[in-house]
Amino acid sequence: MSNGKKFEWAVPTEIHSVGARQIDIDPAALERNVPGAFTFADGGTGGWSLDQLYDADTATPTLLPAFSAPPPTSSGFTLSNHFGLGIAASTNYLLADKAAKMVGFYFVSPELKGMAGWDKCTGYRLDLYREYFSWLNNPKLHLAQMQAEFSDKAGSKKTVAEFDAKTGSTVFHEIAHAQPFVLSWQADEFKDKAWTLRHIRIFCKLVNVAAVAGVDLASGSKGDWRIGNVRPLN
């Protein structure tokens, strides 16, 4: 309704810029838009799962008897979203077969066949963080390894892991407590057109405190292992 006064817009403040200069952008911000990237920003687990627990004392890890009661032979980790930044495998009390001095579990991706970004990748990268803590908190006793599972047209399957040709051994990375890591891996196996990438697997290997220090000290084995920003490399 008019009050008899003439209506006028407020005088705007004008802003005009000229010139441009390149600036640095956090690479993580750009990587979240890469096709096929698992950012977990939707609050879910993105189809990922856990494969656990394994006796990791040997070159070929063997699955431990799980969750028999009472008491449990092994009680491992549960998977959940971590504040939209990644996924976490967490435990309040790790208990495993006392015969296994080292135990392990895997973060396992969903099916990657036909998924954009993964069909022609040469490897992958991820963020890794260990908040899991135990009385034996030496990084040499807390390790991670990147793996990949492939299949061919005949239905055969193979799993490959990080490998150092100079030492002739597979590679494990020491993971210090409460320190962020970025792991990346590229290998010729990803380029072999006779094989199709099906899953990626992150093997987390850790000391079984119950086996080396007793159940009382094992009760302090708790926390989580986190991964995030998992994306293909091309």
Q: Tell me: the pLDDT tens digits for 149-192?
A: 999 999 999 999 999 988 989 999 999 999 999 999 999 999 99
Cβ atoms < 10 Å from Cβ of 17 = 5
Residue 2 has pLDDT above 60, yes or no: no
Q: Of 146, 50, 128, 126, nearest to 89 (Cα)?
A: 50
- Mind listing the domains of the chain with CATH numbers? 47-233 (2.60.120)
DSSP secondary structure of 186-223: E-GGGG-TTSEEEEEEEEEEEE-HHHHT-HHHHTT-BE
pLDDT in tens, 195-223: 999 999 999 999 988 888 877 777 778 89
Q: Of 132, 146, 125, nearest to 36 (Cα)?
A: 125
Query: What pTM did the predictor assign?
Result: 0.84
